[in-house]
Amino acid sequence: MYETQVQELSPEEAKRLYDQGVPFFDVREVEEYAQARIPGARLLPLSEFMARHGEIPKDRPVVLYCRTGNRSWQAAAWLGAQGWTNVYNLEGGIVRWYRAGLPVDTTPVEVGYAATPFQEVGPHEAAKLLEEALVVDVREAWEYGEGHVPGAVNIPLSTLPQRLSELPKDRPILLVCNSGNRSGVAADFLVQQGFPGDKVYNLEGGTYAWMGAGLPVER
């Protein structure tokens, strides 16, 4: 788990910062943001967060939010671990914000993801990579202990920036989590750090898809 303490704000506290012009970042995915958002909030999907976190200012307060506050808490904790000190999480997310009678923009917008710079593979394609690839499980240690792809090493997403030296650039790397979301974030980050995109693979559907395909796990 993250050791960093996350500063939580109620909707009313967050609104005071909002009125002062503090930037808000929405870490939900594209489809969610397109439906409704806090007016003026900037979209920075959690799936692209590690690769684009440099877009978040370090010299002023910022507020992160998602639907209910869970994903934005993870993002805020990760930023704190990287040295950000003025990051706040909107407790209860946009759902609680809306229920507090605060403004929500439902005007239709067209937004999209940045192009994926790495390779997406299904379970059976991934299984063919095991002989040559380094398999990196980016879940927390307790999740890894419950069952993982055979031969996988555990490097939790929160520690990845500090452990890049453990990863080779001259062989394939297969990234894994439960569903493919966190490992997709990690894959994007590795490419941004200079790892060749044709050697960085994300397991679509994660360990859920792997086990669903009848493939073995180690415990």
Mapped onto helix, strand or coil, the DSSP state of residue 55 is helix
Same-domain check for residues 145 and 188: yes
pLDDT in tens, 92-138: 999 999 999 999 999 887 766 565 678 999 999 999 999 999 999 99
Residues 129 and 195 in one domain: yes
Q: 44-48 long-range CB contacts below 8 Å, 24 or more apart? A: 45/113, 46/71, 46/74, 46/75, 46/181, 46/185, 47/113, 47/181, 47/184, 47/185, 47/188, 48/113, 48/114, 48/185, 48/188
Query: For residue 112, what pLDDT is reported?
Result: 61
Same domain, 80 and 144: no
Task: Decide if 109 is inside a domain.
Answer: no
The predicted structure's pLDDT at residue 4: 58
Same domain, 124 and 203: yes
Residues 95 and 125 in one domain: no
The reply to whether 208 and 131 lie within a common domain is yes
Q: Per the domain annotation, does 36 fall within a domain?
A: yes
Same domain, 133 and 162: yes
pLDDT of residue 114: 60
Q: Residue 191's pLDDT is what?
A: 87
Report if residue 219 sits inside a domain.
Answer: no
Q: What is the pLDDT of residue 117?
A: 78
* Residues assigned a catalytic role: 66
Query: Could you tell me if 56 and 135 lie in one domain?
Result: no
Tell me, yes or no, whether 92 and 168 share the same domain. Answer: no
Regions of the chain with pLDDT less than 50: 1-2
Note whether 88 and 149 are same-domain residues: no
Domain that holds residue 191: 119-212
Do 126 and 202 belong to one domain?
Answer: yes
Give start and end residues of each alpha helix (H) in 89-194. 93-99, 123-129, 141-145, 181-192
CATH number, residue 165? 3.40.250.10
pLDDT attached to residue 2: 47
The pLDDT of residue 91 is: 97
- Alpha-carbon torsion, ordered 91, 95, 97, 102, to 10 deg: 180
Alpha carbon distance 160, 36 (integer Å): 32
| HSE-up (13 A, CA, CB side) for residue 85 | 1
Is 107 within the bounds of a domain?
A: no
- The answer on 142 and 89 residing in a single domain is no
pTM: predicted TM-score of the whole model, two decimal places? 0.60
3-class SS of residue 111: coil
**Among 123, 129, 159, which Cα is nearest to 141's?**
159
pLDDT of res. 48: 83
For 194-209, give one letter per residue: b (16+ CB within 10 A) or e. ebeeebbbbbbbbbeb
| Domain count for the chain | 2
